[in-house]
Chain A
């Protein structure tokens, strides 16, 4: 792939990427979220079209306009979220969309034989007649691989394949990959986990913020070197921030265990303390439990073990409403989907959390005038720019929406703030402003849990940094002692540190 450029609104996902893969190798693409790895591979698989650049397969330029076209070129992809229909059987999923010479009818025996043969060759045993929903995640992944192999793929792209597997399944997968490679297939392996890179790849390309940092032979590099490449050099500028004035303990989280939507463990014994007047940044690649952590602490997900004590109440056992009433602010990751009602006005969105309080509600009626006053104040204080407070929220820009959410959540001086990816997708001006708002809250004495994929942001804003990897706390590091390489290693799962207080 040469000079690949891919732009999305507001961000350049791939910025002039050159990537070359040799036949018969396992090549890893390493990087954090937002580095552009998945985008790049989706271009290769025909799901996206590149804005600039070209793809050469075996020296010949190739136009890949759709997954079907990619498969015709021999490129197959195993996605992070499987493209499988749960109610259909394995063989039905493998065959879906294919129009072989047998016409509309299905020769099950032949299909089954071929599937069994492929499965046997590469160690991908699975029962062809079983329905996909009955299979374990590891087995489902085998089906995904079989789908690509059945279609004679000889280049296999795997997007974060181990994020859903148990350690045994991971070993099994690696064994399969080696067998495939021995047979002449080429594998591109997207990951953020350094252990895997070192164990299974021949070469590795590190991406950061849409650019290629380097391509190296795995044998010639080390985890430390890769980690540094992955997270970048020294941060260029630091926000002016006052030294933390730490107050009392605001939140004590102990041994939190929770499952994600798929029923797999997402939090495995997370414990930490949060103090008033500080920002605790949660670093880590997306998908390692941050989302579930924010939900557990705000009443949107049940923790089946552990506790999170805010003063006297255990947040892990409270409902969302109770937690809101306790004065906990939540700036959600999906600000449009969860944080606001697009068809309602700014005024109404601003009282979404407090409409029950006497301030806005007399008997059963909502006090429109009070809401209006509140809206005007908020719009002024947070610089939400809109014609008036009766404008529908969906007409606001991304930055203004986030200001709206902040205005709503932060009024009333909350003691504890969970801010998840607060500046994601925003322009520079809005980003600066929102970071300042959070810093102001911290100076005021709130305890802020800042979750972000942007390591720069975490490094700049946090007083202490907690690294989450696969649902466990790798370490908590005070900001002065934070070393980029160490953080990078923790994010990639390879070093644990004494928990610092």
Chain B
């Protein structure tokens, strides 16, 4: 029962924010170096690879705008995840919430019969509600029955995927199908405007930026944000102070699911203009956004930055596919490595190794 007498691990006291930032950056750089080694082993010069990525993502107007449009869903979902994580709710289900938002928006676009100018706002509202509903289910299950949030959100992802699959193969099957399944294209009024010459659907971008600011303020300076933080940082104290964990958990997931849903609206209304197969719509944004939110240390404003970083990586994947012939899956290698190094840096920041004599406890 006694700890070994010569090596021990003890908790560090809190670190100043700049050090936390530096260590996080260090983690990313380490991951990039590791990926570079991987490139080398594969026979590709890492410098060439990174050079291509930087150029492809930031070196041209096309590159930058493509990067930005990749960042839009990451931004929206990431902000939502920071809120969920603050309430200690592990929302792994952003993929599903995005898809359900997309489904709702598609439904409104194709079948609601609303007049033109009302379509887009209705789609956003509907998308928010669709995603929010999908997020509230696991929240209620956790709050009322104590069921693990990781598993329920994960499972609902796949239920959502099959719902989309069913819709595009069944009731919503488009009339002009060629090989792949998708719905009819949206009417013109249901298509999001983009910045001229690019694929950047700026209304969604604006919503995302607005969300980052709004929720930053909400968490820091409002009553509700205070309650969310208390619930997330010490649930016992929350109970002691009379804060309802049930209400807060559900509220946090309403927000997180809703934002993810709106990201889904952006994708179908802004990029694809129809509902496609789930893999092509969601593209792993929901999972990548987890890293985005985590790297941002649950700060909604910082998500703007980290979403951009991961958008660069995604754009880089596109670029390398063409220039070096490496598959898009490379992006997953990057993401996985970064996540791992981030975990490592977390641990480094939490503990330090003490070598010395320990008195018998």
Q: Which residues of A contact B (CB under 8 A)?
A: 46-49, 51, 65-67, 299-300, 319-324, 330, 332, 334, 337-344, 348, 352-353, 355-356, 361, 364-366, 368, 392, 394-395
User: Are B361 and A49 in contact (CB-based, < 8 A)?
Assistant: yes
Closest to A323 in B: B242
Looking at the assembled complex, report how far the CB atom of B212 sits from the nearest CB atom of chain A, in whole angstroms. 18
For B234, B240, B361, which residue has the most chain A Cβ atoms within 10 angstroms? B240
State whether A344 and B230 are in contact (beta carbons under 8 Å apart), knowing that A364-B222, A395-B13 are contacts in the complex. Answer: yes
Interchain CB contact under 8 A, A51 and B223: no
The number of residues on chain B lying at the interface, defined by a beta carbon within 8 Å of a beta carbon of chain A, is 24
In the complex with contacts A49-B360, A341-B233, A352-B230, A332-B240 CB distance below 8 A: yes
* Closest residue on chain A to residue B1 by CB atoms: A66
Q: Is the CB of B241 within 8 A of A46?
A: no
Docked Cα-Cα span, A332 to B226, in Å, equals 21
B233/A361 in contact, CB under 8 A: no
Given A66-B1, A364-B224, 14 new contacts (CB under 8 A): A46-B1, A47-B1, A48-B1, A65-B2, A300-B239, A320-B240, A321-B242, A321-B244, A330-B240, A332-B240, A338-B237, A338-B239, A341-B229, A366-B226
Contact indicator B230/A341 (Cβ below 8 Å): yes
The reply to whether B221 and A299 contact each other, CB–CB distance below 8 Å, is no
In the bound complex, residues from chain A placing their C-beta under 8 Å from that of B240 are 300, 320, 330, 332, 338-339
Q: Does B322 contact A (CB under 8 A)?
A: no
Partner of A342, one of B2, B234, B243: B234
**Least CB separation from B236: chain A residue:** A338
State the Cβ distance, A280 to closest chain B Cβ, in Å. 22
Bound together, the chains give a CA A356 to CA B244 distance in angstroms of 13
B98 CB to closest chain A CB, in angstroms?
28
CB of B145 closer than 8 Å to a CB of A: no
Interface residues of B in 314-361 (CB under 8 A from A): 359-361
| Cross-chain pairs A/B with CB under 8 angstroms, 5 sampled | A66-B2, A321-B242, A338-B240, A341-B229, A344-B230
Measured CA separation A338–B78 after assembly (Å): 31
Residues of B within 8 A of A339 (CB): 237, 240
**Across-interface contacts of B2 in A (CB, < 8 A):** 49, 65-66
Residues of chain B with a CB closer than 8 A to A341's CB: 229-230, 233-234, 237
Is B14 at the interface (CB under 8 A from chain A)? yes
Across the interface, which residues of A come within 8 angstroms of B1, CB to CB? 46-48, 65-67
Report B241-252 CB contacts with A as 1/0, cut-off 8 Å: 111100000000
Interface residues of B (CB under 8 A from A): 1-2, 13-14, 221-224, 226, 229-230, 233-234, 236-237, 239-244, 359-361
The answer to whether A365 touches B233 (Cβ under 8 A) is: no
Report how far A247 CA is from B234 CA in the complex, Å. Answer: 38
Q: Is the CB of B226 within 8 A of A353?
A: no
**Which 6 A-B pairs give the minimum distances between C-beta atoms?**
A321-B242, A320-B242, A49-B360, A341-B234, A338-B240, A364-B222
Chain B residues whose CB sits within 8 angstroms of the CB of A338 once the complex forms: 236-237, 239-240
Q: Which residues of A contact B243 (CB under 8 A)?
A: 321
B237 to A365, Cβ gap below 8 A?
no
Query: Closest CB-CB distance, B113 to chain A, in whole Å?
Result: 37
The reply to whether A355 and B242 contact each other, CB–CB distance below 8 Å, is no
A184 to B11, CA, bound (A): 48
Cα-based distance from A353 to B230 in the complex (angstroms): 12
The answer to whether A365 and B222 have CB atoms under 8 Å apart is yes
For B229, give its contact among A51, A340, A344, A364 (CB under 8 Å): A344
B223 touches A365 (CB 8 A): yes
The CA-CA distance from A323 to B360 in the complex, in Å, is: 45
Which of B224, B229, B242 has the most chain A CB atoms closer than 10 A to its own CB? B242
A48 to B360, CA, bound (A): 8
Which residue of chain B has its CB nearest to the CB of A49?
B360
Q: Which of A332, A364, A395 has the most CB of B within 10 A?
A: A364
List, in ascending order, chain B residues with CB within 8 A of A356's CB.
223
Q: Which of B14, B226, B236, B244 contacts A355 (CB 8 A)?
A: B226
**Nearest residue, chain A, Cβ from B229:** A344
Inter-chain contact A319/B242, CB cutoff 8 Å: yes
Q: Which residue on A lies nearest to B238, using beta carbons?
A: A341
- A395→B13 CA distance, assembly (Å): 8
- In the complex, how many angstroms separate the beta carbon of B146 from the nearest chain A beta carbon? 15
State the Cβ distance, B251 to closest chain A Cβ, in Å.
Answer: 13
Residues in A neighbouring B242, C-beta threshold 8 A: 299, 319-324, 353
Contact yes or no, A340 B223, CB < 8 A: no
In the bound complex, residues from chain B placing their C-beta under 8 Å from that of A392 are 14
A395→B14 contact, CB < 8 A: yes
Chain A nearest CB, measured from B22 CB (Å) = 20
Contacts of A49 in B (CB 8 A): 2, 360-361
- Shortest Cβ distance from residue A461 to the other chain B in the assembled complex, whole angstroms: 24
Q: Do A364 and B360 contact each other (CB < 8 Å), given the known contacts A65-B1, A320-B240? A: no
Residues of B within 8 A of A348 (CB): 226
Do A337 and B222 touch across chains, with their CB atoms under 8 A apart?
no
**A343–B222 alpha-carbon span in the complex (Å):** 18
Structural contact, B360 and A51, CB atoms closer than 8 A: yes
Complex Cα distance, B238 from A339, in Å, reads 9
Alpha-carbon distance between A67 and B226 when the two chains are bound, in angstroms: 45
Check A48–B229 contact: CB distance below 8 A.
no
Inter-chain contact B237/A340, CB cutoff 8 Å: yes
